[in-house]
Amino acid sequence: MPIEFHAQSRTFHLHNRQMSYIFKVLPSGHLGQLYCGRAIHDRSSFDHLFEAVPRSMSVCYFDGDQSYSLEHIKQEYPTYGTGDMHLPALDAQMPDGSRLLDLRYQGHAIVPGKPAIPGLPATYTEDPAEAQTLTVDLADPLAGVTVTLSYTLFEQLPALARHAVIGYTGPGVLRLERALSFCLDLPDMDYEMVELAGAWARERHVVARPLAQGVQGVYSLRGCSSHHFNPFLALKRPHATEFEGQVLGFSLVYSGNFLAQADVDPYHVTRVTLGIHPQNFTWQLAAGGHFTTPEAVMVYSEAGLNGMSQTFHRLYRTRLARGPWRDKVRPILVNNWEATYFDFTEDKLLALARQARDLGIELFVLDDGWFTNRSDDHGGLGDWEINYHKLPDGLQGFGQKLHDMGLQFGLWIEPEMVNAGTRLWNEHPDWVLHQPGRRPQQGRYQYVLDYSNPDVVDWVFHRLVSVLDGAGVDYIKWDMNRSISDAYSCAVGPAGQGAVLHRYILGVYQLYSLLTERYPNILFESCAGGGARFDPGLLYYAPQCWTSDDTDAVERLKIQYGTSMAYPVSSMGAHVAAAPNHQLGRSTSLTMRANVAFFGAFGYELDLTALSQRGRELVARQVAFVKQYRQLLQFGTFWRLRSPFEGNETAWMTVSPDRSTALVGDYRVLQQANAGYRRLPLAGLDPDRLYQVTRLGSGAQPAGTPLTAYGDELMAAGLVTTGEDPAAEGDFVSRLYLLQPAEL
Ligand code: DGJ
């Protein structure tokens, strides 16, 4: 039983074999946090873990009891008005102008499994035995506010999912201005905060810093989870590494504006909060109404950052992603974007497709530019009318030609946007997010449709259905190429404006639901100008995401390494692009480019018809290699071995569930003259198994004589990777190693 309630001490102990999470109903009726960490024995009371000391200048909850100050008591869902002076989890304004809230325990329930969260993406169970869910009801009768906190602990994973439902019983209207999903008060600040930060084309770089007193955190106010920060943070003990030590990982299952922060108080208590960003957020609740927050997931690891990531990978790959593609290896694709950009004819596309087919590629993705008035990025978005000049037989005819070749057909859409001058723009100016009388701001020459308005979502759905029905589409890349800056909806009055950005994301989720229900077999890949919406929310609908517009292999080392902190390899779109690279002008070998992209949802994004004979041979071999090993590459246990953020070398590997087979990627950015010796300790192997280690050269073909070694040796002594001839190898070198069971 992972969740126990000890009635006498009024204590909840959520535990499985790997972690314990303990809180209790305090004498005041508030929820006090007692412990979060390694699994410990259950007891009928953990009251001795309750800490309260009298501190001068504190406000006390009970007259005369100086030690009982909610400012200094670790809590589960704190509010303002009880003596707690820190940033709260919940903030609301009552009709009388008060912001005072005092939520006290009313009751609780424990159910098997995990109930769905209506309208929102969330982790789930397939069998009720996989988890238990605790809901705790709190209320402030004077304010008319109720809160139900939900906690799901998974039986087999050190992962806890939380969200809150806020209700209002009246009178009048409540203005909810901060409704966070998650709050945890930790008893010390001996952590480093790890975040994923960046910008367009360098998304999700790993940044770590020691906690200090005060607030540190990440956020987005762009209407999407953003290139710049990710709805993720981790707290790791200072000595924790990729392989060892305690780490707490936090992730928000949401795709819009978010806040994730650690707030350290003067007594070193660290309050971790995650949720919708309160800026630009006001949700009005009339009597009987309620608001449901997105879900946040906390993961506990004692096996360092790799341990944390492996739990996120397993949970998000198998119990967040859904649909028939969840467990299937992904087709090898060619995308025409970097091959042609907007400059294509059907003949050109079909020549690319034929070449792709001949090399063994399985899916052809027609990117931006297939619809009318789209010869560049200045026009065309919104009407979704097929450009018969470019595709004489329409999408259906084009799709048929691909299918006749034996290829699957993929299509790009950007359904949240409109360009000026389109019919949609002219007929429905009020469907664009903007304030009447104020010039709307454009980004990439386009404007954002008001997805907070259900009529818009409905219209786009039917428009897309008329394009997609019968077109034989097997894959959709859903793009979103600008931040939202004018969050004002013409569809609602003043009282509704604070809800627009959240309703926008709910509209995106709604359209995803409608499309995935109508086309259950289509593989969806989300995208936002590269990786501006690589978040758990969209993984619920689209099991893979375009990781970054940066296709340079060297930059991808950092991007894929950082992305793997929270997201599984199967979710990372990774393509081999041209050399010189279109974003950086850097030239790397076809082998280096593929050796990086192999660890992702693999594809090509270059003009394959321009390859030399040798290039074509290499691509054919790479494709054959992925077909042979993609189950392992995409669904194996992924280990980060060497960080690109700490030096010139990067290494990672993936191991099959039975630990019999593994693939190691080892990369060196710049060559070194007369370099020292190199050994690469591996991870995740069976120490007692004898492996045959084969180095794979260009085209992922075996090179050199295989080595035989036990798993313990490969993990302790490491794999000797000392270079060959530096002058011959040059910069941007990569090696792959295949580990297979050796004959005894
Ligand atoms: C941005 C995406 O990230 C690219 O891959 C490509 O689809 C372009 N948009 C098309 O406009």
Residue 473 corresponds to which amino acid? V
- Residues sharing a CB contact under 8 Å with residue 111, sequence separation 6 or more, in sequence order: 132, 133, 135
Q: Where are the beta strands (DSSP E) in 414-508?
A: 417-418, 447-448, 475-478
Provide the pairing of β-strand 417-418 with 447-448. antiparallel
Whether residue 337 has its Cβ less than 6 Å from ligand 1: yes
Tokens matching residue 652: 């990672």
Rounded Cα gap, residues 274 and 220, in angstroms: 12
Cβ of 549 below 6 Å from ligand 1 = yes
What is the whole-number distance in angstroms between the Cα of residue 90 and the centre of ligand 1? 38
When pLDDT is averaged across residues 713-739 and rounded to a whole number, the result is 89
| Phi and psi angles of residue 347, each rounded to the nearest 5 degrees, phi first | -60, -45
Tell me the per-residue pLDDT of 582-613, one tens digit each, with 9 for 90 and over.
Answer: 999 999 999 999 999 999 999 999 999 999 99
Domains of the chain: 3-319 (2.70.98.60), 342-483+491-546 (3.20.20.70), 641-741 (2.60.40.1180)
* 240, amino acid identity: A
CA of 336 to the centre of ligand 1 (A): 10
Give the closest residue (by CA) to ligand 1 atom 10. Answer: 368
Catalogue the active-site residues.
Answer: 479, 549
Q: Are strands 601-605 and 333-335 parallel, antiparallel or unpaired?
A: parallel
Residue 1, pLDDT > 70, answer no
- Grouping H, G, I as helix, E, B as strand and the rest as coil, residue 694 is strand
DSSP state of 285: E
Percent of the chain with pLDDT over 70: 100
Summarize pLDDT for 168-225 with one digit per residue, the tens.
998 999 999 999 999 999 999 999 999 999 999 999 999 999 999 999 999 999 999 9
Question: Are the CB atoms for 362 and 331 separated by under 8 Å?
Answer: yes
Place of tokens 């950009």: 341
Would you state the pLDDT for residue 433?
98
Q: How far is the centre of ligand 1, averaged over its atoms, from the C-alpha of 576 (Å)?
A: 15
What value, to the nearest 5°, has the Cα angle with vertex 266 and ends 261 and 267?
100
* Arithmetic mean of pLDDT over the chain: 97
| Residue 544: CA count within 13 A, CB half-sphere | 32
Kindly indicate the confidence band of residue 723, based on its pLDDT and cuts at 50, 70 and 90: confident
Provide the pLDDT for residue 9: 98
Give phi and psi for 557, each to the nearest 5.
Answer: -60, -45
pTM exceeding the 0.85 threshold for the entire prediction? yes
Say whether pLDDT at 646 is over 80.
yes
Distance 515 CA to ligand 1 centre (A): 20
Distance, CA of 413 to chain centre: 21
Per DSSP, the residues of 348-369 read HHHHHHHHHHHTT--EEEE-S-
- Report which protein residue has its CA nearest ligand 1's atom 9: 529
Which residue of 546, 552, 583, 606 sits with most ligand 1 atoms within 8 Å of its CB, as the best mutation to test the pocket? 546
Question: What distance in Å separates the CA atoms of residue 502 and residue 179, rounded to the nearest whole number?
Answer: 12
Does residue 546 contact residue 539 with C-beta atoms inside 8 Å?
A: no
pLDDT band at 129 (very low <50, low <70, confident <90, very high): very high
Q: Is 546 in the pocket of ligand 1 (CB under 6 A)?
A: yes
Helix 454-468 to helix 500-518 angle (10° resolution) is 30
Rounded distance between C-alpha atoms, residue 199 and residue 590, angstroms: 26
